[in-house]
């Protein structure tokens, strides 16, 4: 029913009407472990170091802390349940980290219309639920940027309900001020089933008509629409995803049983797997996807990970060309990245400074760095997310604004320049 990267960097999978189980995949070893869980985990997301889970029935929500023993009900602990009777909500369709909060889009219970946008704090369990953001429509997907949650809707409600509206909408909800506006964006669409921001901060969405569109959030209108031919028949947009992969700057998604990737610069869509795909998630620079009972790992082709570093490495590391992937490693010395080279540093310990000057792409995630971090003049995407940095964080003159993907860094020194907002 669900697959996503958790707050600890592992991939989590929720099952359909299970006997109370989930699965966890260690992205370093590819080991799969079955764990206790809910009957049905409908949605999963990472929020900092937490893994947040939405469950069916009655739309319950749980949060697990990274590094603590997994014990369903304790860790993950129960936060709250919206409830069929109390709020009319039943199925968490999608979750996303939204600054200090998590945003959830839900489907109403049997026979009822009117899904909800729920905003909650996984630390305290406090929440606020907003039903009928778009009257009589379900909230099928959510994305977040700069204090605003963007939501896609479906004209359909719970099973055995009858739609009263004709066209799905896209809405904008300011965390502080509430609803900014909502409107149909694709003619004839009954479901807007996937939303995600690309590396340049542009919002992309998908409709059941097969349209893949760029929504200009400043102008409040569709700037570009591409007919992919990937029409999606589920009334809630279930079994669809869209997500940026910072490792190559492309967007990966699943819909209509296919796995595809999309280049937001060239507007080209490529089918990677043409059947049997249920859901997909980006993690550790790759794409994990499921069929009915199995999970697969799609390794990025081409220059991705031309050099791989794991284990312990003593002395300086210099990346001077291609893409170097450093995963689960301990580096005892400085790490430098020079003109045109790319680095993916994930889940590692760096005992020294990190400096990238003129790099192509830079990804630094879930890593402890004992010295300063400096990233200047990169030509591609820059991601600095969920790290412990024992010195200043400085970024300047990068072609794309560095992103923490809503997973702030803990920085002992000052954060400045383009990375000023990336420190917790």
Instruction: Convert the pLDDT of each residue in 143-161 to its tens digit.
Output: 999 999 999 999 999 999 9
Please tell me the number of Cα atoms within 13 Å of 45 on its side-chain side.
Answer: 27
Query: How confident is the model over 246-283, as pLDDT tens digits?
Result: 777 899 999 999 999 999 988 899 999 999 999 999 99
User: How high is the pLDDT of residue 23?
Assistant: 97
User: How high is the pLDDT of residue 301?
Assistant: 65
Query: Where does residue 247 rank: exposed (0-12), middle (13-18), buried (19+ CB within 10 A)?
Result: buried
Nearest-angstrom CA–CA distance, 408 and 113: 37
User: How high is the pLDDT of residue 334?
Assistant: 96
Q: In 3-state terms, what secondary structure has residue 305?
A: coil
Least confident of 17-21, 47-51, 305-309: 305-309
Nearest-angstrom CA–CA distance, 50 and 160: 35
% of the chain residues with pLDDT over 90 = 84
Report whether 277 contacts 290 (CB < 8 A).
yes
User: How high is the pLDDT of residue 131?
Assistant: 98
Q: Taking the alpha carbons of 299, 385, 348, 32 in that order, is the dihedral positive or negative?
A: negative
User: How high is the pLDDT of residue 163?
Assistant: 98
Residue with tokens 């409908």: 42
Q: For the whole model, what pTM was predicted?
A: 0.76
Residue 339 confidence (pLDDT) above 80:
yes
Quote the mean pLDDT of the chain: 94
The pLDDT-based confidence of 304 (bands split at 50, 70, 90) is low
**For range 126-152, the mean pLDDT:** 97
* Helix runs in 33-169, H state only: 84-87
Specify whether the backbone of 381 is left (phi greater than 0), alpha (psi in -120 to 50) or beta.
beta
**For range 227-246, the mean pLDDT:** 92
Pairing of strands 335-337, 317-319: parallel
């Amino acid at each position: 029913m669900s697959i996503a990267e958790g707050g600890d960097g592992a991939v989590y999978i929720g099952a359909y009407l299970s006997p109370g189980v989930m699965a966890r995949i260690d992205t370093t070893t590819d080991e799969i472990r079955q764990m206790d869980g809910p009957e049905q985990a409908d949605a999963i997301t990472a929020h900092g170091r937490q893994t947040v889970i939405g469950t069916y029935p009655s739309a319950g929500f749980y949060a697990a802390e990274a590094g603590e023993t997994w014990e369903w009900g304790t860790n993950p602990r129960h936060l709250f349940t919206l409830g069929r009777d109390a709020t009319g909500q039943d199925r968490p369709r999608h979750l996303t980290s939204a600054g200090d909060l998590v945003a959830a889009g839900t489907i109403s219970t049997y026979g009822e219309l009117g899904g909800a946008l729920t905003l909650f704090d996984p630390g305290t369990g406090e929440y606020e639920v907003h039903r009928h953001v778009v009257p009589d429509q379900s909230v099928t997907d959510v994305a977040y940027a700069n204090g605003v949650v963007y939501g896609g809707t479906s004209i359909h409600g719970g099973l055995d309900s009858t739609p009263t509206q004709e066209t799905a909408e896209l809405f904008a909800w300011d965390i502080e001020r509430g609803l900014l506006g909502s409107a149909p964006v694709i003619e004839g669409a009954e479901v807007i089933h996937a939303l995600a921001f690309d590396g340049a901060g542009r919002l992309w969405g998908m409709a059941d008509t097969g349209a893949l569109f760029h929504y200009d959030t400043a102008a409040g209108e569709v700037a570009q629409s591409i007919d992919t031919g990937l029409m999606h028949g589920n009334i809630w947009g279930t079994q669809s995803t869209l997500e940026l992969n910072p490792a190559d700057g492309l967007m990966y998604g699943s819909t209509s049983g296919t796995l595809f990737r999309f280049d937001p610069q060239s507007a080209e869509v490529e089918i990677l797997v043409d059947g049997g795909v249920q859901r997909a998630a980006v993690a550790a620079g790759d794409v994990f996807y499921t069929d009915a009972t199995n999970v697969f790992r799609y390794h990025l082709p081409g220059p991705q990970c031309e050099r791989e570093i794991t284990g312990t490495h003593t002395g300086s590391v210099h990346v001077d060309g291609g893409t170097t992937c450093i995963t689960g490693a301990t580096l005892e010395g400085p790490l430098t990245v020079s003109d045109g080279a790319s680095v993916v540093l994930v889940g590692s310990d760096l005992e020294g400074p990190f400096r990238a000057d003129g790099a192509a792409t830079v990804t630094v995630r879930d890593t402890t760095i004992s010295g300063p971090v400096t990233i200047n003049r990169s030509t591609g995407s820059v991601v600095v997310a969920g790290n412990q940095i024992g010195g200043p964080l400085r970024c300047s003159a990068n072609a794309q604004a560095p992103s923490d993907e809503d997973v702030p860094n803990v920085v002992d020194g000052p954060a400045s320049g383009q990375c000023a907002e990336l420190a917790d």
